[in-house]
């Protein structure tokens, strides 16, 4: 089954385009065991989500215990729910190939986020895995995203056969759409920039969007769902991490995470109806 089909089946079965980011910070965990923390979260929310998204940095920062916790976490996810590796990998060809093998073959993730800064040949090794999702980092949710992503490309006042000036993030989106030969390419577009999110959805109507940045980063849930969804109210994975997994710092953390996930799913569905 392709990533896209698996995602659609999970989302439609649960009436949910919510993705829970599993980003364990030892300083905030109510229990000492990362794998046990994640298992409790997964058991509490598995009927409410379309995907889970571990941010690899949080596991790598813990060394080998962190990687073992990631392995146990992946085993805890029901097999019909996609798991997205959030690592923003990107490098020259041989290294990119090794990254792709690591994430898709060794670890068995269903999808991964990639950094396109090095150009098409750095993304191509990921695209070879036709049944895996490849989310191209396009318009990030952080405050400094515009330092590079808003830079305008092309000659000012271009006319005729010349391409009109456009910001870098838009060119990345166009390139990504061109790479989508096997229906496995998506975009990472932050919820904190809803106007750009809406613009990119118009530019790339058939790509799946991974939309981080709701909650603590400032993105508004309903607006992100409305701007990012396609004309069927689908294809926008709204990702939330801290506001769900740290909804409580006490022993009721799993129950609190479920309540927050239910609330976000309702808000996402309200936004989807606007799409």
The residues that are catalytic are: 88
Structure tokens given for 129 = 């895995």
**Burial of 228: CB neighbours in 10 Å, binned 0-12, 13-18, 19+:** buried
DSSP readout, the chain? --HHHHHHHHHHHHT--EEEEE---TTT-SSS-HHHHHHHHHHHHTTT-SEEEEBHHHHHTT-HHHHHHHHHHHHHS-TTS-BEEEEEE--SHHHHHHHHHIIIIIS--SEEEE-GGG-HHHHHHHHT-TTSEEEEEEE-SSGGGHHHHTPEES-TT--TTSPPPEEHHHHHHHHHHHH-SSS-EEEEE-TT-HHHHHHHHHH-TTSEEEE--BGGG-B-HHHHHHHHS-TTS-SEEEEE-HHHHTS-SSTTHHHHHHHHHHHHHHHHHHHHHH-
How far, in Å, CA of 265 to CA of 16, rounded?
6
**Burial of 173: CB neighbours in 10 Å, binned 0-12, 13-18, 19+:** buried
How far, in Å, CA of 67 to CA of 75, rounded?
13
């Amino acid at each position: 089954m392709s990533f896209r089909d698996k995602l659609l089946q999970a989302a439609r079965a649960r009436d949910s385009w919510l993705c829970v980011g599993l980003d364990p910070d030892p300083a905030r965990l109510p229990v000492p065991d990362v794998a046990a923390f994640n298992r409790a979260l997964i058991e509490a929310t598995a009927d409410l989500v379309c995907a889970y998204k571990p941010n690899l940095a949080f596991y790598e920062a813990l060394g080998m215990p962190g990687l073992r916790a990631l392995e146990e976490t992946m085993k805890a996810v029901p097999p019909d729910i996609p798991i997205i590796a959030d690592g923003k990998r990107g490098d020259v060809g041989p290294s990119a190939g090794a990254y792709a093998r690591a994430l898709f073959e060794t670890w068995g993730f269903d999808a991964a986020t990639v950094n396109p800064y090095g150009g098409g040949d750095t993304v191509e090794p990921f695209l070879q895995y036709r049944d895996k999702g490849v989310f191209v980092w396009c318009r990030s949710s952080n405050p400094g995203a515009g330092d590079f992503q808003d830079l305008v490309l092309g000659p000012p006042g271009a006319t005729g056969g010349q391409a009109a000036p456009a910001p870098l993030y838009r060119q990345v989106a166009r390139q990504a759409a061109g790479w989508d030969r096997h229906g496995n390419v998506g975009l990472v577009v932050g919820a904190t920039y809803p106007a750009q999110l809406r613009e990119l959805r118009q530019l790339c109507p058939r790509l799946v969007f991974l939309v981080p940045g709701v909650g603590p980063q400032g993105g508004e849930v309903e607006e992100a769902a409305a701007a990012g969804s396609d004309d069927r109210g689908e294809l926008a994975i709204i990702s939330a991490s801290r506001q769900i997994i740290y909804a409580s710092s006490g022993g009721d953390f799993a129950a609190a995470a479920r309540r927050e996930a239910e609330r976000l799913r309702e808000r996402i569905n309200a936004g989807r109806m606007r799409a």
